[in-house]
Amino acid sequence: MKRSDLNKQLNDHLATLFDEPKRSDISNRLTKLIDAQEQQQVPQAAAINEKNMYLITYGDSIQSPGQKPLQALRAMLDETVADIITDVHLLPMFPYTSDDGFSVTDYLQINPELGDWPDIDDLAGNYRLMYDFVANHMSESSDWFQQFLQGKPGFEQAFVEKEAGFDATNVVRPRTSPLFHTYGATEKQVWSTFSKDQVDVNIQDPAMFIRLTETLLTYITRGATSIRLDAIGFLWKESGTTCIHLSQTHTVIQIWRLLTDYFAPNTQIITETNVPHKENISYFGDGTNEAHQVYQFPLPPLTLHAFTTHDATHLKNWAKTITPMSQTATYFNFLASHDGIGMRPTEGILTDTDREKLAEKVVQNGGQISYKNNPDGSKSIYELNINYSDALRNTGESDELAIQKMLAAHHILFSVMGVPAIYYHSLFGSRNDKEAAETSGIPRRINREKLDLATLQSELETNPYRRAIFTGLKKLAQVRQGETAFNPYQPQEVIPSDSRIFALKRGDVYCYTNVSDQAITIETAGTKNLLTGEQISAGKCDLPPYGYVWVK
């Protein structure tokens, strides 16, 4: 793209967001920012393909005495998963005050408890890195917010204050805490969508718009090949609206996509919007102008539902709606993450009764439930807080069946269209950390345990549960990465099958997963079992309880 074309498109977008003189102010600032960025050496990433696989982890998820956590993470990656993991999603690696990293105090510094920028550079030398950009809010202790409270020049409008006459009755948010909190000696009332320590930035302020855009460009310059836009749906506030998914938010993403494609064409913008499916995929825009990837939020709860009920019908019906967006847009697929299993994405797919049954099972298996407030004053299930391996277990199932079920669930993850991402606790066969959730009072910590590197390496050899899940997932990953049928943009076709079988066709590969505890014989047009190398005889294949196969 020519610079002149970039400028025209940016100005067209700005015209839909701002009136004069604010529009000219931002345009002038943006021109200077782009001029400065053009003087930088910006790393260029290769296009993604079937070999790309993300590991989701915190910078301090792996601990080792005498090493900075980022160095311990690098050692773990090199020694255990370098043959399958290409991309590492580093959850917020910046200084913070709460929410395990999502109340950032400085977007451009590395948390000294993790390491420093040279440690990030070292990781980037061997792995593609995904940075978290918590663009919607910052810590109340951040320098930017403190300057706002003091009325310092350039920060007078940097955060969103409560306005007289602003109608917030329809605001949708995933928390039950107050929407506004009071701060500072002047008792400013400021939006806090998520918590008192997470104050919402004001993207409508020219200075803040440029600061956030500069942060994005800095991440690209500092080696990010993917940038996750955390909680991005809440970015723009408008009186009388839900203040989520507003058209202005989409326009801001389009501006950031333009800049990303201009400076680093294969760097991925990934939107995180834990909402119903139709709302979620709206962040693809027209397929070329917003997110390169969107989080596939229905996949975790629908997969859990299939293995809980031994019926893949809901999962299959939803999968039929997953279609290619473009040759530059696809899905970020996952089953577990640092957060719980979001239930809002199942709205319109599962019934309230279905969700309640999953919640009951999670509580029985040692997990907890988080709720959200609704505009009518009621509450509904927001997410299930539990380790995914424990969530999958049905009453009375042995460790052997639980292991097989975990591998089968990930066989689905690896089969569907898009790019797979594995949470580190899933890859290493971890279990609930109930003590951390109970002592901290933070339900999500049930699945955020920090692991000692030496202990982990030992247990991957000696702990049967860890070892079986880890080696099984590695084998699945290695086979998948050798098949071009699993290119992220390759369409998927749901194959008619028994309700207990989740069946897809990706290119020349047939994917079958048994979600039940019964042995089932399937018929297939393929002739070779990719997982064993054996030939399929008479077009039939036996799947044991929670069995799976790729057939070519």
DSSP state of 283: G
Q: How far are the Cα atoms of 54, 278, 351, 379, 552 from residue 348, in angstroms, in the given order?
A: 29, 10, 7, 17, 34
Residue 343: strand, helix, or coil: coil
Vertex 281, ends 127 and 320: CA angle to 5°?
Answer: 100
Calculate mean pLDDT across residues 502-507: 98
Q: Enter the pTM of the model.
A: 0.96
Q: What are phi and psi of 227, to 5 degrees?
A: -130, 120
Calculate mean pLDDT across residues 425-445: 95
Nearest to 190 by CA among 232, 155, 240: 155
Per-residue pLDDT band for 380 (boundaries 50, 70, 90) equals confident
Q: For the chain, give percent helix, strand, coil, nearest 5.
A: 40, 20, 45
Report pLDDT for 414: 98
DSSP E strands, 99-231 = 128-133, 137-138, 180-183, 188-191, 199-200, 224-229
Q: For CA atoms 243, 247, 248, 249, give the dihedral sign.
A: positive
Report pLDDT for 537: 86
Report pLDDT for 448: 96
Q: How many CB atoms lie within 10 A of CB 396?
A: 6
Q: What are phi and psi of 89, to 5 degrees?
A: -85, 110
Please answer whether residues 399 and 464 qualify as being in contact, where contact means their C-beta atoms are separated by less than 8 angstroms. yes
Residues 116, 5: Cα–Cα separation, whole Å:
37
The pLDDT of residue 373 is above 90: no
Instruction: Specify the range with the lowest mean pLDDT, choosing from 47-61, 268-282, 297-311, 486-500.
Output: 268-282
Average model confidence (pLDDT) across the chain: 96
DSSP 359-398: HHHHHHTT-EEEEEE-TTS-EEEEEEES-HHHHHPPTT--
Element at 468 (helix H, strand E)? helix 464-481
Element at 217 (helix H, strand E)? helix 206-221
Residue-wise pLDDT tens digits, 43-95: 999 999 999 999 999 999 999 999 999 999 999 999 999 999 999 999 999 99
Q: How many CB atoms lie within 10 A of CB 398?
A: 9
Which residues form the catalytic set?
230
In which order are the strands placed within the sheet that holds 368-373?
341-342, 379-385, 368-373
Please answer whether residues 299 and 346 qualify as being in contact, where contact means their C-beta atoms are separated by less than 8 angstroms. no
How far out from the chain centre does Cα 349 lie? 21
Percent of the chain with pLDDT over 70: 100
Residue-wise pLDDT tens digits, 247-287: 999 999 999 999 999 999 999 999 999 888 899 999 999 99
Q: What are phi and psi of 262, to 5 degrees?
A: -70, -45
- 67 Cβ neighbours under 8 A, 6+ residues apart: 75, 453
The token duo for 10 is 């940016």
Q: What are phi and psi of 198, to 5 degrees?
A: -130, 85
The pLDDT of residue 376 is above 80: no
Nearest to 242 by CA among 251, 233, 229, 231: 233
Q: Is 225 exposed, middle or buried (0-12, 13-18, 19+ CB in 10 A)?
A: buried
The pLDDT of residue 374 is above 80: no
Q: What are phi and psi of 138, to 5 degrees?
A: -135, 170
Residues 99, 86: Cα–Cα separation, whole Å:
27
Per-residue pLDDT band for 411 (boundaries 50, 70, 90) equals very high
Q: Is 159 exposed, middle or buried (0-12, 13-18, 19+ CB in 10 A)?
A: buried
The token duo for 473 is 């997932």
DSSP 516-552: SSS-EEEE-S--BBTTT-PBPSTTEEEE-TT-EEEE-
Report pLDDT for 350: 96
Calculate mean pLDDT across residues 464-484: 98
- 211 Cβ neighbours under 8 A, 6+ residues apart: 144
Q: How far are the Cα atoms of 9, 130, 213, 478, 529 from residue 37, in angstroms, in the given order?
A: 18, 20, 11, 38, 50
Residues 369, 351: Cα–Cα separation, whole Å:
17
The pLDDT of residue 320 is above 80: yes
Residues 513, 502: Cα–Cα separation, whole Å:
5
DSSP state of 448: -
Radius of gyration of the chain (CA): 23
Nearest to 340 by CA among 432, 256, 472, 451: 432
The token duo for 109 is 């510094």
